[in-house]
Structure 1
Amino acid sequence: MRLHREGNTIMLTTGLVLLALNLLAYFYLFSDNPTATTLLGIVSLVLFILVVQFFRIPNRLLTTGDAQVIAPADGKVVVIEETTEGEYFKDRRRQVSIFMSPLNVHVNRNPVSGIVRYFKYFPGKYLVAWHPKSSTENERTTVVIETPNGVKVLLRQIAGAVARRIIWYVKEGQPVKQGDEFGFIKFGSRVDVFLPLDAEIKVKIGDVTKGGVTVIAELVK
């Protein structure tokens, strides 16, 4: 396991603030109360571990396959439905949504290999990720990848009530490889995947996914 570079500043800042707080408590605030300083130390350690684990990148054997669509994120499948995608395709698509809690790994990975045909960032609100309007009103990005077989898959990173920053590493015209990082969402949110109607869905509501590993669908072409 390694730690993601997006967490370097947050982990360092958190560690320094907690260290300063504990030193202040030990020498001044609770100098005559060892129980209080011990409890503060334990709470600080737990808090720091929670922050660090958020930025972890576990070692994994990634799944690859030209016809397979791989989960772009760790989390739980909360939506599987046929819906109208109105931003890019403007037609009916099959949507699979994965909700990420603050305890999940938050690396976002390319579900397919291909060329980025479309990218757009939208500033917006921070509604809870399961809110019906979060996919159209929250801060979000939209990425469309066209596979070598000409099938287009749309990904949408959606910020939530806790997540306040979306990171992306792709741009239009860029070739991308299945399983590589395309972005990161800090502190929980959701990723929507829009697929052709004839895609065969391989997951069900409530399934837990592993980014880069779990096959969520298979493409016909």
Structure 2
Amino acid sequence: MKKARYIRQSTKNQTNLRQLAKAHPDEELFIDIISGSIPFDERPEGKRLIQAVETGQINYVSFHAIDRAGRNTINVLQTLQYFYDKGVVVKIDNLGLESMINNKANPVFNLITTILSELSSLEKTSLLERQAEGIQQAKLKGIYKGRAEGTFDTPEQTLQKHKRVVRAIKMNPTLSLRQIAKLASDSDYKVSANTVKKVKEIMLNSNLQVA
């Protein structure tokens, strides 16, 4: 087996990478430091892992949990199906399950991962809704301060964070800001017309590109 371990974390200080490498010496590490709202095949290390699978360098992939494999239920299942179609065994550590047994699909793996992926997606949606409600209540009470003073994203970071908006603008340049916001949003990623306006201004006033 040519093993790989895929890890996604939101910030650099969430784990000790040196210790992680030491704990898994027989696995090649693919570590994305990126928002979970980005689809698996659009993440830098996700792309690199797919390329390694395509060239036959990897045929066994481990994830700590099922939600690391994609941005929502559909994307997780697409990722798992891709690996299955390529004959790659997937292991989910916290379930103790592998996707194939004796080169055949493990029905228990398929059932449990589908259920857990759906639950994870629902949990993220609920969290975003509670967050939005909390912000609205704070605004009504006059205590919402928004982003802390002195913290901001660079134009490059803004475009990278809102790649779905960039894509929607490029594909539908004549739509209104509100229409583009609606087109780019889904249950896991909500964007406002103001954000679309900000992204559009950055795109118009610079030569920045998003991969």
Taking structure 1 as the reference length, what is the TM-score of the superposition?
A: 0.22
The higher-RCO structure (CA 8 Å, 6+ apart) is: 1
Select the structure that is richer in helix. Answer: 2
Select the structure that is richer in strand. Answer: 1
